[in-house]
Amino acid sequence: MKVVPASAMHRGIHSMQAESALCYCGVDAGLTVTNARRFVPGTRHCIQPDVKPTIVIPKARTRHSRGDRTKIPCQLIPGLPDDLAIACLVRVPRIHHRTLRVVCKRWYRLLAGNFFYSQRKALGMAEEWIYVIKRDRDGHISWHAFDPRYQQWQPLPPVPLEYCEALGFGCAVLSGCHLYLFGGKDPAKGSMRRVVYYSARTNKWHRAPDMNRRRHFFGCCVINNCLYVAGGECEGVQRSLRSAEVYDPNKNRWSYIADMSTAMVPFIGVVYHGRWFLKGLGSHRQVMSEVYVPATDNWSPVLDGMVSGWRNPSAIFNGQLYALDCPDGCKLRVYDGAADSWHRSVDSRTHLGNSRALEAAALLPLGGRLCIIRNNMSITMVDVANSEDAARRGALWDTIAGKGLFKTFVTNLWSNIAGRNRLKSHIVHCQVLQA
């Protein structure tokens, strides 16, 4: 590494300069002193985030020391230029970020900003966690985060008070790192327009603009990073709703879109090939389905092979629509658009049981595989993208969180004998957030 002359130090040059903004992405994970000089040649300043507080060090105590102070920039990591310090910090696993935030104010501001996580994403360091929202036997809402890398459940701040006992509220993810809770029915106050969101980057809850219409048990989806809601119920003469609206985070406001063809209380929905499909119960409790096209802002009834054989949970993965083919999620089906029919895609050939605790509650894409989450918090990964290779390696079905799986037979037996096959808790929503 190049040695800075003493004369340069006297001229005020205290640290080496980076070549450009690309130095963050160019630093190798195994950086050593030997190959570090090519990333910090000392020609131009590197673009830095807005985290430049200063510490004030007073001079020696003299008669004029009160008004004569010298400001020295505080480094993120003492002895390292900030560009190299950030290159080190972005490589710290996400499980330790909560600890990094309490080291100092400058680290807290760095980890709370978009710059830090944009660098992690650019370097392929961003990690996906599973966030599970549960309702217990008494109706109270709690939530948990699972780190697939270390296979550990992580603590989270409590949900806002208005959602501690809410029913029929929506849940969606915008920008990959913001989890929104919206609408729902408060047991005491009725239907709500309230909207809150949790940021995986700051680990805090925030308020967002309220919806235009009070509603609960409605359908929701995300298209082009905009949040759509439709249908549902509300107190009043006309309980079932036809209205629909959209939230644009860039404009930070809700806007009405075209009404549905008929009032509906959706119980399943998916975005497939840019269109939003909803399936639910009409005003007279009949099963019906509609599709919304954002480009034309138009709703229309739909009756085809996809909707008729469509079951929940379901998910889109690599452009294909997958759905669970059994209650415990041990079989998967895939929709064939050309034949307009469903066929079995992957079978684990192992049945876990009919217990409600083992019932699959969610199907999500995660890390290039499909993730099945059950009510007992057990999680199974299915490698549908490379099903043939994975089957040969015996890794097609991989359980990464096996809580409750080994007590299934005994638990089910005693529950049936004692008549206590009541579900202690169940999953209401499940999402994946990236940071």
Q: Do the Cβ atoms of 183 and 168 come closer than 8 Å?
A: yes
Lowest mean pLDDT among 122-131, 227-236, 305-314, 383-392: 383-392
Residue range 158-303, CATH number: 2.120.10.80
In terms of C-beta density within 10 A (0-12 exposed, 13-18 middle, 19 or more buried), how is residue 283 classed? middle
Rounded to whole angstroms, how far apart are CA atoms 419 and 254?
A: 48
pLDDT of residue 64: 46
Question: Quick count: other Cβ atoms within 10 Å of Cβ 253?
Answer: 12
Query: Distance between alpha carbon 181 and the CA centroid of its chain, in Å?
Result: 12
Between these two residues, 43 and 1, which has the higher pLDDT value? 1
As a dihedral over the C-alpha atoms of residue 174, residue 180, residue 185, residue 190, rounded to 10 degrees, the angle is -100
pLDDT for the residue numbered 403: 56
DSSP tag of 158: P
**Phi, then psi, of 138 in degrees rounded to 5:** -90, 5
Question: Which range (64-73, 299-308, 333-342) has the least confidence?
Answer: 64-73
Q: Where on the phi/psi map is residue 217: left (φ > 0), alpha (ψ -120 to 50), or beta? A: left
Token code pair at residue 380:
């199974």
The residue to which tokens 């759905």 are assigned: 323
* Per-residue pLDDT tens over the stretch 122-150: 999 999 999 999 999 999 999 999 999 99
What single letter denotes the amino acid at residue 392?
Answer: R
The alpha carbon of 289 is separated from its chain's Cα centroid by a whole number of angstroms, namely 28
Q: Which range, of 56-65, 84-93, 206-215, averages the lowest pLDDT?
A: 56-65
Q: Which residues belong to CATH 2.120.10.80 in the chain? A: 158-303
C-alpha 360, offset from chain centre: 19
**Cα–Cα–Cα angle for 359, 365, 370, rounded to 5 degrees:** 60
Q: Which residue has the higher pLDDT, 345 or 56?
A: 345
Range among 16-20, 148-152, 281-285 with highest mean pLDDT value: 148-152
pLDDT digits (tens, 9 = 90+) for 83-129: 999 999 999 999 999 999 999 999 999 998 889 999 999 999 999 99
Across the beta sheet with 226-230, the strand order is: 219-223, 226-230, 244-248, 253-257
Phi, psi of 340 (to 5 degrees): 50, 50
pLDDT band at 71; cut points 50, 70, 90: low
Each residue's pLDDT tens digit, 383-395: 988 766 665 555 6
Residue ranges in 101-245 assigned as alpha helix (H): 105-111, 114-122
- CA 11 from centroid of its chain's CA atoms: 49
SS3 category, 207: strand
User: Which pLDDT score is estimated for 284?
Assistant: 85
Q: What value does the mean pLDDT of the chain take?
A: 82
Tell me: cis bond preceding 78? Omega within 30 of 0 counts. no
Q: Across residues 216-226, what is the average pLDDT?
A: 97
CA distance 97 to 347: 38
Find the mean pLDDT for residues 428-433. 97
What are the helix (H) ranges across 93-195?
97-100, 105-111, 114-122
Give the distance, in angstroms, between the CA of residue 69 and the centroid of all CA atoms in the same chain. Answer: 47
- Residue 386: predicted pLDDT: 79
Q: How confident is the model at residue 72 (pLDDT cuts 50, 70, 90)?
A: low
